[in-house]
């Protein structure tokens, strides 16, 4: 039986085609001890935004098929690499408790999967909500190797809807919507391959800051706009960042902007004009999310799969109730727009109480690096064309003062969780560029280069790995603070960095502008208590720093070491990761796991069986 048929029988709604092959005929059922999925990776021609290029397909489609699981399931995923490239697949946000060898990071948890080989990941999911899988090799996310994951919860808190309404009938409809979310992957797209982009970045010494389009579920088109109109969208308070320049017709900041490209020596002649300055509009298909107003509510799970963009999303004439973030229930909060940072996931309820019609969905980049947007449609069943009002414009700016955007720092966990009030270790990491515009570091001194992907995985030898300046060793059952410090000036201006800690949700204790002048969170709390929350802080596996545009900024996190293994901590802006912004956390070196033979140095990656 096809997985698509099974998902239909189980009542799971998704706007994506569900087509991952399931080896067992009952694999999607709730009684199966193990769900088995097979992902066949190929390199083929595609044109998601109307411009043809070579890209990754997963089981013949882009994005890859949804992997639908149930909380508590044992999972087995077989990845068959039919492409000409080495690769791996990481399951973003899945904690991999007791299975660090299935985390999918080359040079950290496993070897790469070579062309013609297969790799089998096995793990148990004790989580629920929206996640995603993606390549963790080179810049392959920019080439389309990703797809969504949804883990159905064992139960939904009975009082979750009470914040939204006291009407018991409406509460029932809300819970029905939560059980059947629609999955929306928000990504940016490039007409050059990731390898081509990287070669230009190195030869020209530039940061890759410009995409060709914004996609919703792999659909979109190239939009071109008048440079003056784009420039006029920038608020006066931050217009100095433009240095008197206009955006290009593609929405990019010109290469000469030193806030964007630094004051390092450049070779701009190595940059193809199409990368920043040329734009040819297309009319390819855009995503349509059809909803039935008779159900009262729809649940939309937004998955941030962009490489350099951070889309802010809104739906004309509709508010969004955010109720789940990174797979954890939060106190529902009503907003008109929210920013979907790279790697983050946000599940929202939308009340279907408007005139049956078609309502534009806008996903506009929120960063100053580029003014670009993608569009879709929320279409009521049997609806018609109606006049609507947008909450944000093409530049990602609110259209009026009444528009409410999500405040990440105000997110409260639905089930309060308090971290230890005292950490065992504190690490202060300085984020920034080193030596080159394209080269980044998470510790201020060393770059986690792409060559390390071919190295012996840290998981196999933690004693030797601990000697590397690109690792941090922690003890099991301890609490660890990590403080990220960003500097900002003419040569090192930085965007907000979406950071991802593999294996853990972390407590986001606080953020702030200015220099972090203290040696610990405790000392900082004494000086600026208003910047911290140690009672019920947000829990995230992907968390974004404040930008450092003309000064410094910082973020403090705390996590509990309870899953020994080698896990990456890195920026999820793809060119920043490939540029070296990562560290390996050797968690629980005193309780290192016994690695199964097939995942260790003497294991072997099987050849694909025809």
Alpha-carbon torsion (452, 456, 462, 467), positive or negative? negative
Q: Tell which of 154, 176, 207 closes a domain.
A: 154
pLDDT of res. 261? 92
Confidence band (pLDDT; 50, 70, 90) for 24?
A: very low
pLDDT at 225 over 60: yes
pLDDT of res. 11? 34
pLDDT of res. 25? 26
pLDDT at 98 over 50: yes
Residues 335 and 215 in one domain: yes
pLDDT at 183 over 90: yes
Confidence band (pLDDT; 50, 70, 90) for 489?
A: low
Domain of residue 490: give its range: 425-597
Measured CA to CA, the distance from residue 437 to residue 557 in angstroms comes to 27
Residues 143 and 186 in one domain: no
Residue 419 lies in a domain: no
Confidence band (pLDDT; 50, 70, 90) for 21?
A: very low
Q: How far is CA 263 from CA 488, 580, 604, in A?
A: 13, 20, 47
Mean pLDDT lowest for which of 288-297, 487-496, 549-558? 487-496
Measured CA to CA, the distance from residue 247 to residue 251 in angstroms comes to 5
pLDDT of res. 19? 31
Residues 431 and 379 in one domain: no
Residues 200 and 268 in one domain: yes
pLDDT of res. 14? 41
> Residue 168 carries which DSSP code?
H
Beta carbons of 130 and 185 less than 8 angstroms apart: no
pLDDT of res. 607? 72
Residues 127 and 58 in one domain: yes
Closest CA to 585 of 131, 206, 127, 105: 105
Residue 502 lies in a domain: yes
CA dihedral 455, 458, 463, 467 (to 10 degrees): 60
Phi and psi angles of residue 215, each rounded to the nearest 5 degrees, phi first = -115, 145
Residues 245 and 306 in one domain: yes
pLDDT of res. 20? 36
pLDDT of res. 604? 61
Determine what percent of the chain falls in helix, strand and coil, rounding each to the nearest 5. 15, 35, 50
pLDDT at 6 over 70: no
Residues 246 and 162 in one domain: yes
pLDDT at 340 over 60: yes
Question: What is the β-pairing status of strands 34-46 and 21-22?
Answer: antiparallel
For the purposes of burial, counting CB atoms within 10 Å of the CB of 551, is it exposed (0-12), middle (13-18) or buried (19 or more)? middle
pLDDT of res. 29? 41
Beta carbons of 399 and 407 less than 8 angstroms apart: no
Alpha-carbon torsion (242, 246, 248, 249), positive or negative? positive
| Residue percentage of the chain with pLDDT more than 70 | 93
* Helix (H) or strand (E) run with residue 4 in it: helix 3-10
Confidence band (pLDDT; 50, 70, 90) for 26?
A: very low
Strands (E) located in 125-256: 129-135, 146-152, 182-189, 213-216
pLDDT of res. 156? 94
Residue 263 lies in a domain: yes
pLDDT at 8 over 90: no
Residues 403 and 439 in one domain: no
* Helix (H) or strand (E) run with residue 179 in it: helix 168-179
> What average pLDDT does this structure show over 451-476?
94
Instruction: Read off the pLDDT of residues 369-409 as tens digits, 9 standing for 90 and up.
Output: 999 999 999 999 998 889 999 999 999 999 999 999 999 98
pLDDT at 33 over 80: no
Closest CA to 188 of 152, 136, 143: 143
Residues 551 and 577 in one domain: yes
Phi and psi angles of residue 259, each rounded to the nearest 5 degrees, phi first = -65, -35
Measured CA to CA, the distance from residue 177 to residue 352 in angstroms comes to 11
Q: Tell which of 137, 154, 171 closes a domain.
A: 154
Instruction: Read off the pLDDT of residues 264-316 as tens digits, 9 standing for 90 and up.
Output: 999 999 999 999 999 999 999 999 999 999 999 999 999 999 999 999 999 99
Residue 610 lies in a domain: no
Residues 491 and 578 in one domain: yes
Which one is predicted more confidently, 169 or 7?
169
Residue 393 lies in a domain: yes
Measured CA to CA, the distance from residue 52 to residue 277 in angstroms comes to 19
Q: Tell which of 112, 137, 154 closes a domain.
A: 154
Instruction: Read off the pLDDT of residues 563-598 as tens digits, 9 standing for 90 and up.
Output: 999 999 999 999 999 999 999 999 999 999 999 999
pLDDT at 82 over 50: yes
Confidence band (pLDDT; 50, 70, 90) for 241?
A: confident
Beta carbons of 216 and 314 less than 8 angstroms apart: no
Q: How far is CA 238 from CA 233, 393, 569, in A?
A: 11, 17, 31
Beta carbons of 201 and 578 less than 8 angstroms apart: no
Q: Tell me the three state secondary structure of residue 150.
A: strand
Which one is predicted more confidently, 18 or 455?
455
Number of domains in the chain: 3
> What average pLDDT does this structure show over 504-529?
96
pTM score, whole prediction: 0.94
The token pair that represents 406 in the structure block: 């999500």
pLDDT of res. 23? 33
Question: What is the β-pairing status of strands 471-473 and 21-22?
Answer: unpaired
Beta carbons of 510 and 557 less than 8 angstroms apart: no
pLDDT at 531 over 60: yes
| Residue percentage of the chain with pLDDT more than 90 | 86
Residue 470 lies in a domain: yes
Q: Tell me the three state secondary structure of residue 204.
A: helix
For the purposes of burial, counting CB atoms within 10 Å of the CB of 330, is it exposed (0-12), middle (13-18) or buried (19 or more)? buried
The token pair that represents 448 in the structure block: 């986690």
Q: Please report, for the domain that includes residue 232, its CATH number.
A: 2.60.40.420
Average pLDDT, the chain: 92
Measured CA to CA, the distance from residue 374 to residue 218 in angstroms comes to 11
Tokens 């690499």 — which residue? 81
Closest CA to 276 of 246, 239, 236, 305: 246
pLDDT of res. 493? 77
Confidence band (pLDDT; 50, 70, 90) for 608?
A: confident
> What average pLDDT does this structure show over 339-351?
98
Residue 452 lies in a domain: yes
Residue 605 lies in a domain: no
Residues 148 and 200 in one domain: no
pLDDT at 609 over 70: no
Residues 462 and 410 in one domain: no
């Amino acid at each position: 039986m096809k997985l698509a048929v099974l998902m239909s029988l189980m009542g799971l709604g998704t706007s994506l085609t569900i087509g991952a092959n399931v080896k067992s005929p009952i694999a999607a059922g709730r009684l199966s001890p193990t769900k088995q999925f097979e992902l066949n990776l190929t390199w083929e021609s595609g044109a998601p935004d109307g411009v043809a290029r070579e890209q990754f397909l997963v089981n013949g489609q882009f994005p890859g098929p949804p992997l639908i699981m149930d909380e508590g399931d044992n999972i087995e995923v077989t990845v068959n690499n039919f492409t000409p490239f080495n690769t791996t697949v990481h399951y973003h946000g899945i904690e991999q408790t007791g299975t660090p060898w299935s985390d999918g990071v080359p040079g950290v948890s496993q070897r790469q999967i070579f062309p013609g080989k297969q790799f089998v990941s096995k793990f148990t999911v004790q989580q629920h909500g929206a996640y995603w899988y993606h390549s963790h090799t080179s810049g392959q996310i920019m080439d389309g190797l990703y797809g969504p994951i949804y883990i159905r919860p064992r139960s939904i808190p009975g009082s979750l809807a009470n914040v939204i309404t006291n009407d018991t009938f409406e509460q029932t409809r809300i819970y029905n919507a939560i059980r059947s979310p629609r999955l929306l992957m928000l990504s940016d797209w490039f007409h050059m391959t990731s390898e081509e982009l990287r070669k230009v970045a190195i030869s020209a010494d530039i940061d890759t800051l410009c995409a060709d389009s914004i996609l919703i579920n792999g659909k979109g088109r190239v939009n071109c706009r008048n440079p003056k109109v784009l420039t006029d969208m920038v608020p006066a308070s931050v217009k100095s960042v433009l240095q008197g320049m206009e955006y290009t017709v593609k929405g990019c900041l010109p290469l000469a902007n030193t806030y964007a490209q630094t004051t390092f020596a450049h070779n701009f002649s190595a940059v193809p004009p199409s990368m920043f300055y040329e734009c040819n509009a297309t009319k390819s298909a855009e995503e349509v999310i059809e909803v039935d107003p008779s159900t009262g509510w729809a649940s939309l799970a937004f998955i941030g799969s962009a490489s350099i963009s951070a889309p802010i999303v809104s739906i004309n004439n509709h508010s969004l109730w955010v109720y789940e973030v990174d797979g954890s229930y939060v106190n529902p909060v009503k907003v008109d727009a929210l920013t979907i940072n790279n790697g983050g996931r946000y599940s929202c309820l939308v009340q279907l109480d408007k005139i049956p019609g078609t309502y534009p969905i806008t996903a506009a980049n929120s960063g100053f690096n580029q003014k670009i947007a993608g569009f879709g449609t929320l279409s009521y069943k049997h609806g018609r064309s109606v006049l609507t009002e947008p909450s944000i414009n093409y530049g990602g700016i609110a259209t009026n003062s009444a528009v409410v955007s999500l405040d990440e720092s105000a997110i409260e966990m639905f089930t309060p969780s308090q971290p230890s009030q005292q950490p065992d270790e504190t690490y202060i990491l300085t984020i920034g560029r080193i030596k080159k515009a394209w080269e980044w570091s998470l510790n201020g001194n060393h770059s986690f280069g792409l060559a390390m992907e071919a190295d012996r995985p840290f998981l196999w030898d933690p004693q030797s790995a601990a000697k590397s300046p690109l690792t941090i060793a922690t003890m099991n059952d301890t609490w660890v603070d990590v403080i990220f410090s960003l500097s900002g000036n003419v040569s090192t201006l930085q965007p907000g960095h979406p950071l991802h800690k593999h294996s853990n949700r972390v407590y986001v204790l606080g953020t702030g502008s200015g220099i972090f002048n203290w040696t610990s969170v405790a000392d900082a709390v004494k000086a600026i208590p208003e910047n911290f929350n140690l009672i019920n802080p947000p829990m995230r596996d992907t968390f974004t720093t404040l930008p450092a545009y003309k000064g410094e900024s910082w973020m403090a996190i705390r996590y509990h070491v309870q899953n020994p293994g080698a896990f990456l901590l890195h920026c999820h802006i793809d060119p920043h990761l490939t540029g070296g912004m990562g560290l390996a956390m050797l968690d629980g070196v005193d309780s290192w796991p016994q690695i199964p033979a097939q995942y260790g140095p003497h294991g072997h990656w099987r050849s694909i069986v025809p």
